[in-house]
Amino acid sequence: MAHRPFLLITTCFTFTAPAQQFPPAPGDAVELEPIIVTGKAEDLLGIARSATKGQANNGELSQRPFLRRGELLEVVPGVIVTQHAGGGKANQYFLRGYNLDHGTDFGISLDGMPVNFRTHAHGQGYSDLNFLVPEFVEGLDYFKGPYFAELGDLSSTGGASYRLFHELPQGIASFSFGENEYYRALLGDSWKVGDGTLTLGGEFSEENGPWEIPDNYQRWNGFVRYHTGDEDNYFDVTALGYRGTWHSTDQIPLRAIQSGQVDRFSSPQTTDTGETSRYSLQLNWQQKDGNTTTKLDVWGGYYDLDLFSDFTYFLDDPLRGDQFEQFDKRFFTGANLTREWRYDIGKLASTTTAGLQTRMDMMDGIGLYKTKRRERIGTVREDDIFEGSYSLLVDHGTQLTPWLRAGAGLRGDLFYFDVASDRAANSGTDWAGIASPKAQLVFGPWAETEIYLNGGLGFHSNDARGVTISRDPVSGERVDPVDPLVRTKGAEIGVRSNAVPDLTFTAALWVLDSDSEFVYVGDAGRTEAGPGSHRYGVELSAYYRPTTWFTLDGEYAWSHARFEDVPGDESYIPGAVEHMLSAGLTVGQEKGVYSSLRARYFSPRPLEESGRVESKAGFQVNARLGYKWKNWDVAVDCLNLLDRGDNDIEYYYESRLPGEPAAGVADIHLHPVEPRQFRVSATYRWWE
């Protein structure tokens, strides 16, 4: 294992702050009643600090018919979730002109515990959501932009913070089945034990998909929580466990489909597989005492991934093929500690939050290997890595007048990288620090409408292997290391209005710059430095809920993304989605018939820097029809209702099939959307 200073050995916890709310208007009582936000259509005037911050609850999540677990993240306006491989691999995420790959620059957490992994075998920021069980999630808070002091690494475009139920509102047993040999079983309940409540839950699912070689994705999830206290003062102990195994059908070359060499649902590579697991233990404690609130989150866990992939076939090795293995095994630990004070400055109601954050990843073996039929035939590189971060933050907000709220914050982050590589030239240590100021102004409300101005500096960390590298692990040529921390800068002007009864409307104009598009390419074992980037766009959303049984929503996002300091005809950013549209209709009450219809569109996007090669557009419609009576809920989901032959993902690069030129062929490589399919679920709920 990589060596590290004594300071790092003794610092074994990490800290993350909850989202601070602005103080009440002058004259209001200082002691606030808790605000229960039940969904995106709720009135957040006087609460939210930006037009693009919001919340969604379990009801909204459970109403959405979805193919993959990660698609529930599309409840965040502007987010697109797709897949380029099989089963249990983390999804692809798109937001604000970024192809976020598997999570870079989009921060995801669960009750304070980060989901993103820094310095990962498959890519920086890797975020696998398959360990979440939707029925156990109470809701999520979402945000956009680097405007909040409590949010740091890997969150420049935005993020989502999931919250588990303290205790389940009902016991639940559910079974689902569908086409392509899909099965899912779920069981969970809460009991009073001693002075608290014990919750136990478990899930098993299996599916093969439409693939010529079945996906055979099997997922096991376990959930244990012991809760004491109430919503204001509580102590939770939570254990989570997840394991997944699958065969992987990765993206395939378009020319192979057009020539009839492979079907859309087959692949030239038949031995790609994956298996992963994640186990964690969390402690969450909160105490309110008069006008102060103290919160502490502590977590630790174990994670591993063993992934076999092949995207270029016979380009690098004409005899044995280009299959490779990415292996990741780590222990991770951290904690979040914050204290919030609510007080008056003269007659001006104010709130100040101070916090500490620290997080550590201890990777005892992270490797990239050349393989043939999953047998190792060569090592590209192996590393033991320690990465730690240590942060301080302060955030302050004051109600200056009845129509003006102001906030400012500052966070400082210190990182330590320690890499022990199999090639001594790529080993080393490094320290890096960065300071990130933030600011917000909120005007109103006037006529049930507020206007927001937000700005701030953010950052993302680069893969530790790129920070200490000096020799390309394949060619042996000398290469330059990347900057440990990359600065991002963002600003936003937005509006939120509830002027029309039962309608919540938001609009925002945003800009986001990055000093560099540096990335570590896990598939190749090397770093690639890109130029800086400039992005801007518009986001609109509307949620209409005239009654408890009818909801109509629509979201639109437009993004413009370009590299900077490069020729104009080479400035397009591959994978940047320009137009995104999402809409949904939900009808139904607590009992009887209910239904949900959701549609999502994303426009063609450039696949290389000239912009001449583009992907196809994507348009998907999912539907649900169900019936509730007494304790039962029976539903039918139709996924890809229009049976469109769209593609989940498209890339443009060189690959080589048998018989093709040694230099390979530049081509579009795609992963198809699954055809129309039906799934049926039966759920029984009970109360004590």
pLDDT of residue 248: 86
- Once rounded to an integer, what is the mean pLDDT over residues 468-490? 92
One-letter amino acid for residue 262 of the chain: V
3-state secondary structure 493-511: EEEEECCCCCEEEEEEEEE
Q: What does the pLDDT look like over 306-326, one tens digit per residue? A: 999 999 999 999 999 999 999
Q: Say whether the peptide bond before residue 675 is cis (omega within 30 degrees of 0).
A: no
Is residue 89 within 8 Å of residue 112, measured between CB atoms? no
Q: What is the rounded average pLDDT of the residues 15-40?
A: 42
Domain 6-616+627-686 CATH superfamily: TonB-dependent receptor, beta-barrel domain (2.40.170.20)
Distances (CA, A) of 103 to 132, 221, 248, 436: 16, 21, 20, 21
pLDDT given at position 3: 45
d(CA 347, CA 50): 24
Beta-ladder partners of 329: 304
> Rounded to whole angstroms, what are the CA distances from 6 to 12, 252, 299, 334?
11, 49, 21, 17
User: Per this entry, what is the length of the chain?
Assistant: 688
**428-431 long-range contacts, CB within 8 A, separation 24+:** 428/467, 428/468, 429/468, 430/467, 430/468, 430/484
Domain boundaries, the chain: 6-616+627-686
pLDDT > 90 fraction of the chain, expressed in percent and rounded: 83
Alpha-carbon torsion (469, 472, 477, 479), positive or negative:
negative
Residue 4 pLDDT: 45
Q: Is pLDDT at 20 greater than 50 in this prediction?
A: no
Residue position matching structure tokens 């997922």:
219
What six digits make up the tokens of 639? Answer: 């996924």
Write the DSSP assignment of 641-654 as a string of letters. Answer: TT----EEEEEEEE
3-state secondary structure of 62: helix
Query: Which tens digits make up the pLDDT trace of 391-425?
Result: 999 999 999 999 999 999 999 999 999 999 999 99
Contact indicator for 166, 234 with CB cutoff of 8 Å: yes
In whole angstroms, what is the distance from residue 217 CA to residue 246 CA?
A: 4
Q: 3-class secondary structure for 177-207?
A: EECCCEEEEEEEEEEEECCEEEEEEEEEEEE
> What average pLDDT does this structure show over 252-258?
95
Mean pLDDT, to the nearest integer, of 15-27? Answer: 40
Q: Flag whether pLDDT at 19 surpasses 80.
A: no
How far, in Å, CA of 67 to CA of 210, rounded? 13
Nearest to 611 by CA among 662, 658, 563: 563
Whether 30 has a pLDDT exceeding 60, the answer reads no
E strand map for 320-347: 324-345
pLDDT digit string, tens, across residues 50-99: 999 999 999 888 888 999 988 889 999 999 999 988 778 999 999 999 99
Q: What confidence tens digit (pLDDT) does each residue in 516-561 have?
A: 875 545 445 444 667 899 999 999 999 999 998 999 999 999 999 9
Per-residue pLDDT at 44: 84
CB 354 within 8 A of CB 394: yes
Q: What's the mean pLDDT in 153-178?
A: 96
Q: How far apart are CA 356 and CA 353, in angstroms?
A: 10
Query: Which three-class secondary structure string do you get for 228-273?
Result: EECCCCEEEEEEEEEEEEEECCCCEEHHHHHCCCCCCCCCCCCCCE
Interacting residues of 476 by C-beta distance below 8 A, sequence separation 6+: none
Q: Which of 39-43, 265-269, 294-298 has the highest mean pLDDT?
A: 294-298
Taking residues 470-498, what's their average pLDDT? 94
Closest CA to 309 of 256, 262, 270, 266: 270
Banded model confidence at residue 24, pLDDT cuts 50, 70, 90: very low
Confidence (pLDDT) at 474: 86
Report whether pLDDT(341) > 80.
Answer: yes
The residue-averaged pLDDT of 490-500 equals: 97
Tokens, residue 111: 């009750």
Q: Which helix (H) or strand (E) holds 672?
A: strand 665-672
Over residues 589-622, the pLDDT tens digits come to 889 999 999 999 999 999 999 999 999 999 999 9
Give residue for tokens 């999502």.
600
What is the H or E stretch that residue 465 is in? helix 464-468
Mean pLDDT of the chain: 91
Kindly state the average pLDDT of the residues 271-280.
Answer: 96
Looking only at the bridges linking them, the beta strands covering 273-289 and 252-253 are unpaired
Which region among 11-25, 130-144, 238-252, 257-271 has the lowest average model confidence (pLDDT)?
Answer: 11-25
Give CA–CA dist 164/115, Å, rounded. Answer: 14
**Mean pLDDT within 386-393:** 98
In angstroms, how far is the first alpha carbon of the chain from the final one? 50
| Gap between the Cα atoms of 557 and 534, Å rounded | 17
In this model, does residue 10 exceed pLDDT 70?
no
